[in-house]
Structures are given as C-alpha cells and as structure tokens.
Amino acid sequence: MKSSIIGPLMSELGLLHVSDDKHLMVDSDLNVNTVARLKDEGIALIDTLQSPVVVDLAGARVQGSAAVALLIAWQRHCVQRHRDLQFINASSHLLEIAKVCDVEDILAFTDA
C-alpha cells in the first residue's frame, strides 16, 4: 500500500516535507524500522518537485546503513525519470557509512 500525502507538500507523519525553497526536508530517524515507509513517502514528494531535486538531510538522524539504502532508492527513482538529485547537509556519520558501503561516489552528496 502506498503511503498517503497530507496536503501537497508533507508526508503522512510529517517526517518529510517540502520547504519554502522547494527542498525535500528529512526530519526523521533513518533506520531499518523507518526507511521502507519513508521511501514511498519521499518518492511521492520528489515527484512534486522540479529538477534538480534537492534533499536536505540536516534533520536526518542516521542509525545505520538503512539510511544509505533509502538514499540509493530515491536516487534510482530520479535517474529512471531523467531528473537530477542532490543530497545536502549530510552528516559526517552518514558520509562515513556511505564510504564503508563503497557508495559515496555514486550518491549525489554536495555541500549546502
């Protein structure tokens, strides 16, 4: 079942929302218990945004490699739709996990 979106710019639980500057804001724990739901909610919000899609990770609380799987899923979704994606404000912890998983070069991390 696909998660619903309340209003045009916020996820069901408010863990993801689109800011005034049209960035997808992540304000959630990212772990094995949350990423499946966040994946679908994020994709629904990403589909409302213009390219390049900017995902702001400043509010993301990374709790393991499941966070990397989520970002890869969002990036794959954008690539399949020929849309650019950027991840900004990634924590050093997330960057280190991406490095250990050997995916830091394929994820679109940029400085804010």
- Provide mean pLDDT across the span 32-51: 94
pTM for the whole structure: 0.86
Quick one: tokens of 90? 């990634």
pLDDT for 12 beyond 80: no
Question: How is domain 21-110 classified at the architecture level of CATH?
Answer: 2-Layer Sandwich (3.30)
In sequence order, what are the beta bridge partners of 86?
Answer: 54
Residue pLDDT, tens place only, 73-100: 999 999 999 999 999 999 999 999 999 9
Predicted confidence at residue 13, as pLDDT, reads 55
Give the integer Cα–Cα distance in Å for 41 and 6: 10
